[in-house]
Amino acid sequence: MTTEKSHAPFIEALCTEIRLRAAEYASLEPIETLYFGGGTPSQLHPDDLGRIIETLNEHFDCSNVLETTIEVNPEDVTLEWLSAVRALGIDRLSIGIQSFFEDDLRFMNRVHDARQAREVIDLVRQAGFDNFSIDLIFGLPEQPPEYWSANLEIASSLGVPHISTYGLTVEEGTPLANRVERGLIHTMDEGDMSEQFRFTMLYLNEHGYEHYEISSFALPGHRAVHNHRYWNHDNYLGFGPSAHSFWWTGLPAQRWANVRHLKRYEALVRQHVAPVDESEQLGLNALADEYVMLRLRTADGLDLDELETRYGVDLLVDRVEELAELETSGFIQPIRGDRVRLTDLGKTVCDTVTARLLPD
C-alpha cells in the first residue's frame, strides 16, 4: 500500500475478500467496530477508503457501528485528507507519533520530524476529531530521562485524549538487534524500564488519565472500544495481507492469518480462494490461558466467575496458593467479589504474574 500504482488492485482484492467472508459470517453477528490499521492506511485516498466502507455496509450489518478508527502517520496527512475521512464517518484516529524529540525519531528511523509530531495534533482537531490516540515509545537506549517525562508532559498539555505507551522491544533479525549484538547500542535494563513505566503510570494518573489496560491511558470517555473486542475474547474478522481473525461460536475456536505478500494475496483473492497462510484451532484450555492473559492486562481485571462459567476453570481452587502469595507480595489487589486486578507493582511484571496463574 505504499505506491499509487498498487492501490487499485489492492482495493479491488480487499473488497472481494470482504464479499467472500460475508457469505459465511455476515448473518452471524452485526459489526460493532471498524479499524483500518496494519501497514499505511493513511496513504490511501479517501475515495478508496470510502469504497471499502461502502462494501462493508453492503455486505455486513454496520447499522450500529460504535467506533471507526484509522491509523495515521504524521507525515502522511493533510487537513484536506483528514477532513475527507472524517466526512466518511471515521471518528477516531490512532497516530504513530512515537516521540516529540528529533533524536528519538531519528533513532527509530521515523519519516516525520518533531515539528510534524506536534502539528498533526492541531490538524486532527481542525478536521473535527475529538477522539484520537497517540503512540509513544519509552526505554530508548541512551535517551535522556527528561525526554520521556517531557513526552508525557507535551501529550498531556495538548489534551491528547488517549495515549498508548510501549516499551522498546528488540526484535530478532532486525537492524536494531544487529547493532545491539555488536555492542554498538546498549539497551535499557529491566529495572530502569520498570521505573520508567511506573513513572508513566503515576504521571498520567495525576493528569487525569485512566490506566485501563497495561499500555493504554485514556481521559474519561475515551477508552478504545475496538480494543475491548480483543480483551473480551469477542469475534473479529481481518481483511487484507497479514490480517488476523478470530471466531468462536463453539469449540474449537478458529484463528487464522492471511498471507503477508501483497501480490500473492491479490492473486489468491482474484481466484476467489481464501488468502489464509496460517490457521489454528483452539480448545478450551488454550482459550482459558488466553482469557487469563488478556484480562489481567485490563483495569477491569480477571472475572473469576466468567473464567469458571465460560472456560471451566476455578482459580480460587486451582491457584488459591498462588493468589494468596501474589496478594501478600503486593502484585494483585485484595480479591473482592469475583475480580483479580493487578496493583501498579504487578503491572510492571504482568507477564510473570500471568504465568503463575495460567491454568494447567
Choosing from 207, 229, 251, the residue where a domain stops is 229
- Residue 349 included in any domain: yes
Cα dist. 240→38, 62, 136, 246 in Å?
A: 9, 19, 26, 15
Q: Are 186 and 142 in contact (CB under 8 A)?
A: yes
- Residue 34 included in any domain: no
* Unique residue bearing C-alpha cell 484520537: 132
Per residue in 262-296, pLDDT (tens digit) is 999 999 999 999 999 999 999 999 999 999 999 99
| Omega prior to 252 cis, within 30 of 0 | yes
Q: Are 156 and 204 in contact (CB under 8 A)?
A: yes
Report the mean per-residue pLDDT for the chain.
93
Instruction: For residues 7-35, give the mean pLDDT.
Output: 96
152-179 burial by CB neighbour count: b if 16+ within 10 A, else e?
Answer: bebbbeeebbbbbbebbeeeeeeebeee
Q: Is the whole model's pTM more than 0.85, yes or no?
A: yes
Choosing from 180, 199, 229, the residue where a domain stops is 229
The answer to whether residues 88 and 215 belong to one domain is yes
pLDDT band per the 50, 70, 90 thresholds, residue 306: very high
Query: What residues contact residue 229 under an 8 Å CB cut-off, 6+ apart?
Result: 32, 33, 235, 236
- Quick one: angle between helices 4-25 and 46-59, nearest 10? 10
The answer to whether residues 222 and 300 belong to one domain is no
AA identity, residue 227:
N
CATH number at residue 313: 1.10.10.920
* Domain limits for position 319: 293-357
CATH number at residue 129: 3.30.750.200
* Strands lying side by side in the sheet with 92-98: 33-36, 67-72, 92-98, 132-138, 162-167, 216-218, 210-213
Question: In the chain, how many domains are there?
Answer: 2
The answer to whether residues 89 and 184 belong to one domain is yes
pLDDT band per the 50, 70, 90 thresholds, residue 188: confident
- Residue 95 included in any domain: yes
Q: Which three cell numbers stand for residue 67?
A: 467506533
The answer to whether residues 164 and 71 belong to one domain is yes
pLDDT at residue 38, as a whole number: 85
